[in-house]
Amino acid sequence: MSKLLVVFGATGNQGGSVINSVLDDATLRQEYKIRAVTRDASTAAAQHLLQKDIEVVTGNADDTPSVEKALQGAHTVYFLTATIYDSMLQEREISQGRRIADAAVAVGAEYLIFSTLPSIKENSGGRYSKGGHFDCKTQVEKYIRTLPVKSAFFAPGSFMQNFATNLRPNATDDGTYVLATVASPATKLPLIDITETGKYVSAILANPDAYQGKTLCAATGLYTMEEIVGIISRSTGKTVAYRQLPEDAFRKFLPPAMGDYIVHMLLNIQDFGYYGKNTEELVAWAAGQARGKLHSLEDYLAENPLELN
């Protein structure tokens, strides 16, 4: 009999990738039946899942009864918490994560897979204390580890998708482009095409006992800021340079609610490494666990061209 895999955030990049990876694998497709959980089952993305003969249910991570209903009969649960940059960020994410974990244990789920992140405060020894968007996920992870249930963790690096949004190079007066942050040019970002989440999570689903208690630090590899702008330049045919800005100047490019979070995140990566001092080894190990070829940044930009106008 198939085991019920409940996937939260099913219409997003992470959850959708997990679902596709199961459907695309003949063995996993037989082993797991999927229930997709989304806040709005009437969206086009949710309807697309229904066309794949997947059960789609409505679930709100802020509402205990809807979470409990969505989890009925679950064997394995993949879930994440939504990051919204406001004064309630940490409280909301911790509550969401604990609510789903508690409900999963209450209904008898046997395995939890949580999308986590490394604590910026702990990684920096307290130097950078405004990394709540990472720290709260670490707190949820620690809580899950205390529960009477098996678990594994997916910790994604910096999304390649960000180069089209908040890390998009900006045009200058001379027709060239600049990618600017507060970090040094030698700072190494672990990059992941977040639509490849399923390549990592499917490894856990295929052999859950082997990954019990482990964290997959998920990234294709590490890229310095200078390497990143070089790749973007070659991909777009435009001249793109990297520029390190003082904190005050960089904050002007960020929404006020995001300022402290992003500055402390980048400085932590610069000084201590995204996943800490063993970042390179952790990324290399996790990449070796992924099922299928991972996109390099060059691959990603070839399939998702960055338009610089």
The yes-or-no verdict on residue 1 having pLDDT over 90 is no
Q: What is the rounded distance in angstroms from the CA atom of residue 176 to the CA atom of residue 224? A: 20
Tens digit of each residue's pLDDT (9 = 90 or more) over 22-44? 999 999 999 999 999 999 999 99
d(CA 226, CA 263): 19
Residue 217 falls inside a structural domain: yes
Residue 204 has pLDDT above 90, yes or no: yes
Confidence of residue 273 (pLDDT cuts 50, 70, 90): very high
Q: Report the pLDDT value the prediction gives residue 286, as an integer from 0 to 100.
A: 99
pLDDT, averaged across the chain = 97
| Percentage above 90 pLDDT, the chain | 96
- List, for residues 274-287, the tens digit of each pLDDT value: 999 999 999 999 99
Assigned domain for 39 exists: yes
Give the number of residues written for the chain. 309
Other Cβ atoms less than 10 A from the Cβ of 307: the count is 8
Q: Exposure of 53 by Cβ count < 10 A (0-12 exposed, 13-18 middle, 19+ buried)? A: exposed
**Interstrand relation of 32-38 and 55-58 (parallel, antiparallel or unpaired):** parallel
Residue range of the domain that includes 171: 3-303
What's the rounded mean pLDDT across residues 99-108? Answer: 98
Q: Report the distance separating Cα 87 and Cα 240, nearest Å.
A: 35
Number of domains in the chain: 1
**Looking at residue 233, what is its pLDDT?**
98
φ/ψ of residue 71, rounded to 5: -95, -5
pLDDT digits (tens, 9 = 90+) for 39-70: 999 999 999 999 999 999 999 999 999 999 99
Residue 252's CATH number: 3.40.50.720
pLDDT at residue 222, as a whole number = 99
The pLDDT of residue 211 is: 99
Within a domain: 31: yes
Q: pLDDT for 65-84, tens place per residue?
A: 999 999 999 999 999 998 99
In sequence order, what are the residues at sequence separation of 6 or more whose Cβ sits closer than 8 angstroms to the Cβ of residue 114?
A: 79, 80, 97, 101, 137, 140, 141, 144, 151, 153, 154
Residue 92 located in a structural domain: yes
Residue 112 lies in a domain: yes
- For residue 44, the model assigns a pLDDT of 95
Q: What is the pLDDT of residue 309?
A: 80
Q: Is residue 308 part of a domain?
A: no
Residue 309 lies in a domain: no
